[in-house]
Amino acid sequence: MHSEEQHVDVRADQPENCDDSSCFNNSLVRTEIPGGESTIVDIAPVNQEGQSIWLMLAENSRLLRLDAHKGYSEVVGRMTLPPEPARDPFDGHALARRLHVSNDGNFAAVVSNYGQFGQVIDLSSGKITLQLDGGDYESETVPFSFRFASWQGRVVVIHRTAWNRLDVSDASSGQLLSERGPTSYQNGDQRPEHYLDYFHGALYMSPKGTRILDDGWVWHPVGIPVVWSVDQWLSGNVWESEDGDTKRDVCAREWYWDHGIAWLDEDTVAIGGIGDHGYTVVDGARIFDITSTGPASPEWRSDWKWAREIAAFGGPAGRFFSDGEWLYSASKSGMSRWNPKTGTKTGHIEQFNPTHHHLGAGELAQLSDGVIVRWSTSRES
C-alpha cells in the first residue's frame, strides 16, 4: 500500500537576527496513510536511526508498519483489548487506546489510557506475550503506566500492576523480573515496609535509558513527578521505585499532573507549568537537575530528596519534547521551539500540534484526518 509525501510551507515566526545556530526550518511533510484501512487511532515511532518508520493502530485493532519516506505500509499484527466499564472522564480525559513500540520494532503494546488493561505482542510471531492489568483504583486519573526499555541486551516492559506498584517483565516471554514482597494491605493487616502511597502515572525514559520519570500523584491530590535509576532498580535494589537511594521527588503541585514533560539530557528534565496549585499554574517550563537536591516544595516534607530547580521561564504550553538541544512545546496554538538555557522562543509553526517524537528520524509528528504530518528537528532540512 503506497502513498506520496507532500512538502508544504506554513507560516512560521522567525527569530530576529537569524543565524546558522538558530534558523528555523518551517517545512512540514504530509504523508497520506494508504487507503483500505479503518481509522487510525494512534501511531508510535520505531526509533531506528535515520528511518521514518512508524507503527500504527487501526480502529479495527490491526497493527500496520509504515515507512513514511516511501509511503508504504503493511499489516504486522492484531491486538484486541478486553472491554472496560464506562467511567466518568477525569479532567476531560476519556478512555482511549494508546500504542507503544520497542525501539527495535520487534514488540508492540496497546494499553487503555485512563483505564485498566493492555497487551504486549511479539510482532515477529504474532503471539501475545503479556496481558497487562494496572488495576481499576482511580485508573481514570492517569495514563496507563507503561514503557519499553532495554536491559542487558533484551527488551523489557515497565508496567503498572496496581495503583501503587510498578513491575518489570521480559517482553519476549512475559516473565516477571521484579519479584518482591507485597506493596498493599487491607484494614487490620500490618503495613508493608516498602508501602508506597503513590498513584503511578505516565512514564518517561531518559534519552539513554538510564533513568525513568513517573508523572503520578499522591493524596489529596498532589501531582509529584519522581525519578530513579533504571539500572539500580533492575540490577540492584528491587525496591528502588518505592524508596531507593536514587529516587528524587521533582516538585509538587496540587491538582496538577499529566502535563508537559521532557528529558533534556540524562540529568535534566523540563516540567510544564509554573506554580504550586492547578488553579494558579501558568504556562511555562521549570528545569530541574535531578542529580542534586534542592529545597522542599512549599508545605512538603523537608526530609524528602527533592531535585534542584535550576531555571524557569514562561511561555511553553501543552506537550513537551526535546532533541537534547531545544525544548519543543505543542498545543492548540501550534508548535514552538525554545532555548532551554535562555528561555527564548526561537520559532513557531501555527496549526501544527505534534503528539509524537521520532528520535531516530529526528521528527515531530501529528496524526490528522488520515494523514501523518511530520516536521524535522534538523536545521538543515
Structure confidence by residue, pLDDT tens digits, 169-220: 999 999 999 999 999 888 888 899 999 999 999 999 999 999 999 999 999 8
In tens, the pLDDT along 330-344 reads: 999 999 999 999 999
Of 72 and 165, the one with more pLDDT: 165
Of 222 and 19, the one with more pLDDT: 222
Res. 37 pLDDT band, cuts 50 70 90? low
Whether 300 has a pLDDT exceeding 80, the answer reads: no
Q: Could you give the percent of the chain with pLDDT greater than 90?
A: 80
pLDDT confidence of residue 162: 97
CA dihedral angle for residue 342, residue 271, residue 92, residue 279, rounded to 10 degrees: -80
- Cα separation, 235 vs 168, in Å, equals 12
pLDDT confidence of residue 56: 97
Mean pLDDT of 141-148: 98
Instruction: Please give the model's pTM, rounded to 2 decimal places.
Output: 0.92
CA 149 to chain centre: 13
pLDDT confidence of residue 9: 37
What is the three-class DSSP state of 104? Answer: coil
- Cα separation, 196 vs 183, in Å, equals 7
Cα separations in angstroms, 156 against 104, 142, 169: 12, 22, 6
Which residue, chain included where needed, has cell 512545546?
A: 329
* AA identity, residue 326: W
Whether 5 has a pLDDT exceeding 80, the answer reads: no
- Cα separation, 97 vs 146, in Å, equals 12
pLDDT confidence of residue 23: 75
Mean pLDDT of 124-143: 97
